Amino acid sequence: MPSAIALESVWKRYGSRTIIHDLSFTVEKGEIVGFLGPNGAGKTTTMRMIAGFTTATSGRVTVAGYDMATQNAEAARQIGYLPERPPLYDTLDVSAYLRFVARVKGVPRPAIPTELERVTTACGLEAVFRREIYKLSKGYRQRVGLAQALLGKPAMLLLDEPTIGLDPGQIQETREVIRSFGEVHAVLLSTHILSEVTLICRRVAIINHGRLLAIDSPSGLQRAVEQTNRVALQVTAPAQALREELLSVDGVRALEVRSAPGDDSVLSVECLVDARDDVEAAIARAVANRWDLHRLERHQPTLENIFLHYVSEAPPAKGAA
């Protein structure tokens, strides 16, 4: 079976500017992939190429095996797309708008009432079903955008910042909709909210300056940057002697020593350590045998600092936007 979404050596240029550089990755059926990157990284351009709104300069984009360059109509039928700004018609009420989208998507007329009920319930739109769209809050407008993407039971969803403007309860409900859809379909989820990726995504793709920096499970990315593990401690000790003692501990690779805020007699130390479980214990023994150890804790990599690690390590590409 072909991948639900596949990008093969995709480049996108606008005149002399290269926006996307040799981008390749896949999204499989039954998988939710988080698509992360700072503003201007190329996420929206990539989503628009997958959705068929713009074409790749070179390379190949396929959706359910259909080539987006030559089989655009067939590929588009497989996609539910929620762009960053939902394509809403303010003069229509929610029911009329969703009925219009269902007809455009080719939902058989007898099936439209059932389909509208399905997406209305999934997105929590019952209370505003007959209300004009221009009267809706930003949160409800976002829900209507998600509902139109779900219409027609597409094989995959492209979601560009789907929870922008939602309150915490609405965010949780939207996550559940995305999670349930992703159990049997494919979802590519672009977001700046890293907790969403941790909670619902099987894999994470990190992009910056139009280049794919990493793609793996959240835990796999964490293991890949475990060299960023740090042990923090506070000690009353002479700075030079403490530095020498800590650097003699097996597993400590580098450190920074400074005075603790508000108490010059206490030193705060950040140790860059190897990814081993026994490093903290070795540090504690080395320090406590000679001085007063006030605090010691190990900072494991989070998805946020993993993201920042990859983004900060990636130099801007020549000619990129």
Tell which residue, 63, 44, 321, 51, has the closest CA to residue 161.
44
Residues 69 and 212 in one domain: yes
Residues 186 and 87 in one domain: yes
User: 238: domain range?
Assistant: 227-300
Residue 317 confidence (pLDDT): 58
Task: Determine if the pTM surpasses 0.85.
Answer: no
**145-156: pLDDT as tens digits:** 999 999 999 999
Flag whether pLDDT at 33 surpasses 60.
Answer: yes
Distance CA 178, CA 186 (A): 10
Residues 295 and 197 in one domain: no
Domain count for the chain: 2
From 224, 254, 282, the end of a domain falls on 224
Flag whether pLDDT at 90 surpasses 80.
Answer: yes
Distance CA 50, CA 66 (A): 11
Is the residue at 320 inside a domain? no
Other CB atoms within 10 Å distance of the CB of residue 215: 18
Of 13-27, 174-188, 220-234, 266-280, least confident by mean pLDDT is 220-234
Is the residue at 271 inside a domain? yes
From 181, 207, 224, the end of a domain falls on 224
Residue 314 confidence (pLDDT): 62
Residues 15 and 149 in one domain: yes
Residue 139 confidence (pLDDT): 85
Of 44-53, 110-119, 267-276, least confident by mean pLDDT is 267-276
Flag whether pLDDT at 172 surpasses 60.
Answer: yes
Residue 229 confidence (pLDDT): 74
Higher-confidence residue of 314 and 30: namely: 30
Flag whether pLDDT at 37 surpasses 80.
Answer: yes
pLDDT band at 313 (very low <50, low <70, confident <90, very high): low
Residues 189 and 201 in one domain: yes
Flag whether pLDDT at 320 surpasses 50.
Answer: no
Is the residue at 32 inside a domain? yes
Q: What is the mean pLDDT of the chain?
A: 88
Residues 238 and 177 in one domain: no
Q: Could you give phi then psi for residue 192, rounded to 5 degrees?
A: -105, -5
Residue 283 confidence (pLDDT): 92
Determine contact, residues 296/268, Cβ cutoff 8 Å.
Answer: no
* Domain of residue 283, CATH code: 3.30.70.260
Sign of CA dihedral 146, 149, 154, 158: negative
Residue 263 confidence (pLDDT): 66
**195-228: pLDDT as tens digits:** 788 888 999 999 999 999 989 888 787 766 665 6
Mean pLDDT of 114-142: 93
Residue 282 confidence (pLDDT): 92
Which distant-in-sequence residues (6+ apart) come within 8 Å of 233 by Cβ? 268, 269, 271, 283, 287, 293, 294, 295, 296, 297
Residues 164 and 246 in one domain: no
**241-271: pLDDT as tens digits:** 999 999 999 988 888 898 877 666 788 998 8
Flag whether pLDDT at 188 surpasses 60.
Answer: yes
pLDDT band at 97 (very low <50, low <70, confident <90, very high): very high
Residue 105 confidence (pLDDT): 92
Distances, alpha carbon 178 to alpha carbons 4, 164, 193, 226, 230, in Å: 16, 14, 14, 30, 35
From 195, 224, 253, the end of a domain falls on 224
* Domain of residue 207, CATH code: 3.40.50.300
Residues 154 and 74 in one domain: yes
Sign of CA dihedral 123, 83, 77, 33: negative
Q: Could you give phi then psi for residue 236, rounded to 5 degrees?
A: -95, 105
Is the residue at 306 inside a domain? no
Give residue for tokens 């990190």: 206
Residues 136 and 208 in one domain: yes
Is the residue at 194 inside a domain? yes
Residues 49 and 154 in one domain: yes
Flag whether pLDDT at 1 surpasses 80.
Answer: no
The 3-state secondary structure of the chain reads CCCCEEEEEEEEEECCEEEEEEEEEEECCCEEEEEECCCCCCHHHHHHHHHCCCCCCEEEEEECCEECCCCHHHHHCCEEEECCCCCCCCCCEHHHHHHHHHHHCCCCHHHHHHHHHHHHHHCCCHHHCCCEHHHCCHHHHHHHHHHHHHCCCCCEEEEECCCCCCCHHHHHHHHHHHHHHHCCCEEEEECCCHHHHHHHCCEEEEEECCEEEEEECHHHHHHHCHHHCEEEEEEECCHHHHHHHHHCCCCEEEEEEEEECCEEEEEEEEEEECCCCCHHHHHHHHHHCCCEEEEEEEECCCHHHHHHHHHHHCCCCCCEC
Q: How would you class 97 by CB atoms within 10 Å of its CB: exposed for 0-12, middle for 13-18, buried for 19 or more? A: buried
Tell which residue, 90, 117, 113, has the closest CA to residue 103.
113
Distance CA 113, CA 126 (A): 14
Residues 148 and 261 in one domain: no
Is the residue at 307 inside a domain? no
Mean pLDDT of 25-52: 92
Is the residue at 16 inside a domain? yes
Distance CA 248, CA 234 (A): 18
